[in-house]
Amino acid sequence: MKHEPPEVPRLPRPRRGPGRWTSFVAEPDPASSPVRGLHEQTNPTHRVRVEHDDHTLLIHLSGEDGGDWTTVAVDRNTRRWAIAQDRRQSDTAREAYRQLYEPDGPAPRRHTSGSRKSIAD
């Protein structure tokens, strides 16, 4: 079953002109730790990060200026999804997760290493 977004008016198509499709990039970590986030090459404050557990993928996208966040939560089994937007990444993660699952669904897990925080924080 396809999960449809709520009906909202479509945006006008962007004007054609300069600009090409490109990808987000990762900066190598000097401490050789795994790279956990990507950023736009010409705008390092525009970031994306993906995290997952056995049940859920969370895709976090910052605003163009680095503020505000959009999180997409995807159930790995069904591919159903939910989206939330707010000022803090942790708030959007919790809200997208809440929208996706019933209250007694799988509980989000905390990261156990270092000071990194996940959706349960």
What is the distance between the alpha carbons of residues 53 and 75, in angstroms, rounded to a whole number?
10
Domain that holds residue 40: 35-100
Residue 11 has pLDDT above 90, yes or no: no
DSSP sequence for 41-96? TTEEEEEEEEEE-SSEEEEEEE-TTS-SEEEEEEETTT--EEEEEESSHHHHHHHH
| 41 within domain boundaries | yes
| 8 within domain boundaries | no
pLDDT of residue 7: 79
Coil/strand/helix, residue 98:
helix
Coil/strand/helix, residue 25:
strand
| 68 within domain boundaries | yes
Tokens of 2: 């396809």
**Mean pLDDT across 17-37:** 83
| 80 within domain boundaries | yes
| 115 within domain boundaries | no
Number of folded domains that form the chain:
1
| 93 within domain boundaries | yes
| 25 within domain boundaries | no
Task: Kindly report, residue by residue over 43-62, the tens digit of the pLDDT.
Answer: 999 999 999 999 999 999 99
